[in-house]
Structure 1
């Protein structure tokens, strides 16, 4: 498990492009492996599992000082690949493309496998500490709360699929889902905002090899950007905006942990105030 330490609201102003990448950008997908990144911000863990010929078992690292991974944690899992199976304490959950599985605190044995090694599952997950147990639950894409937002005029016509939230799958503090932009739309989360009460992680996916998303971060009056490729994630601390513009339409998985679970708890920034 890799560890990523916090960068402050003042420190980012002095960082060059590579330093910003090293601090905020995350490469997590590797065929045949589970990769984990432990982030000091909100004690979040970002992970990915791409099983092929053998199942991959989620093990606890010394960093958590726990007997098993979910002893004090909960996990949200989104499959962006082929059909897969997540086995939780002997119960198999068939997770299709763009299905979401919530794994509750107290779950001991968690393994990931693919049904077809030629099109393996690509499990992306995010985990936060939990002080209460909620049951493991699977949501199909059709089960998600779908919000249709934006317009062609503003190049941000999109659908937000909410999975783990107050009116959906119940969790301790995790909120998770994904957003899909329609063809011809390239902007997400614009006008932009911050969450002073929680941290958010974006993972961009569904991009072609030669496509990119320019992810905006920093304070609204002193922005920076990171150039994001397919299946790269970015950490957005409480003080930073998180918005993006792509060279084509794309999807992104969003996950949050922190003070509350209100999807609309945002500190908005007007476009005219961005610098």
Structure 2
């Protein structure tokens, strides 16, 4: 099953209630055992999905929204496993993903998912060219350490597909892990005027939350985000967040280009 999500322009935040913001910018309930659940985002036509195989192999289903028989008929795919090891089967070849390992799958491939205890997070973008499938173990990626000695934003960035290294058509994704005593992510905040970004928060546990900021710098709003929930950050919106406990997040982008450093920083002093 794939649902459809329309967000809004920046003027839509004026007067929006908490419920309005959650309905438009927060994707919940993607992970249900034995199911493939997805949401089609009007922003850059991204699809986010969760797959929890349980005792049986699962294939993508409910693809009427895409107008195709295969999920990747005209798309590419990034996968990150959030839990126990499991397999992503690509054109008959299994790829074993451990916790926070990634997989890039090129356009035209057929995929299915296997592994009791695995929880696969999927991000898919449209593609007009084909790149080879590659397994990207987190431990194989050179970490980028972001040091924040005077604040609380120390974190380690793992870039899986990011405009350097393995190629893609327009998809970029990776994982960021916060330092033990840090709470802030994406500090200072920024925007991507040429692409949409989506954040999935994980590692929080059931009793903790992330306060995620969105909106224009002079009109910020917030969402209270739980484990395995996804925030949509349109091209006009900044993004940053702070958690009540240690956490990680999977970030993914798609849009006009794949220049990872092509972002627009926002000064903390400009936030309202």
TM-score bracket, normalised by the shorter chain, equals over 0.9
- Label 1:40 to 1:180 Cα distance change in 2 as closer, same or farther (>3 A): same
Q: Which of 98, 104, 114 matches 1:96?
A: 98
How big is the shift at 1:168?
A: 2.6
CA contact (8 A) 1:152 1:184 kept: no
The counterpart of 2:261, out of the listed 255, 261, 264, is 264
Q: What are the residue-to-residue correspondences of 1:144-183 with 2, within 5 Å?
A: 144-183=141-180
**SS at 1:74 equivalent:** strand
1:15 Cα deviation after fit: 0.8
1:13 alignment counterpart: 14
Q: Deviations over 1:143-181 (max 9, x none)?
A: 223100032421011000000122232111000001000
Contact kept, 8 Å, 1:60 with 1:68, in 2: the verdict is no
Distance 1:182 1:66 in 2: 42
For residues 53-202 of structure 1, what are the structure 2 equivalents within 5 Å?
53-59=55-61, 61-107=63-109, 109-114=110-115, 117=116, 120-202=117-199
Q: Structure 1: which 5+ runs fail to align?
A: none
Q: Give the drift of 1:183.
A: 0.9
Deviation at 1:61, TM superposition (A): 1.1
Residue 48 of structure 2 aligns to a residue whose secondary structure is: strand
Note the aligned Cα RMSD (angstroms).
Answer: 1.0
82-91 or 7-16, which moves further after superposition?
7-16
How much has 1:89 moved relative to structure 2? Answer: 0.9
The alpha carbon displacement at 1:60 in A equals 5.6
Counterpart CA distance in 2 for 1:270 and 1:230 is: 28
User: Is this contact kept in 2: 1:162–1:168, CA < 8 A?
Assistant: no
Cα drift, residue 50 of structure 1: 0.6
Using the TM superposition, name which of 230-239 and 141-150 deviates more: 141-150
Residue 187 of structure 1, CA deviation: 0.6
Aligned length: 270
Query: More deviation in 259-268 or 218-227?
Result: 259-268
- Structure 2-normalised TM-score? 0.97
Checking the alignment, whether the CA contact within 8 Å between 2:7 and 2:25 is kept in structure 1 is no
Q: Tell me which residue corresponds to 2:242.
A: 245
- In structure 2, runs of 5+ residues without a counterpart are none
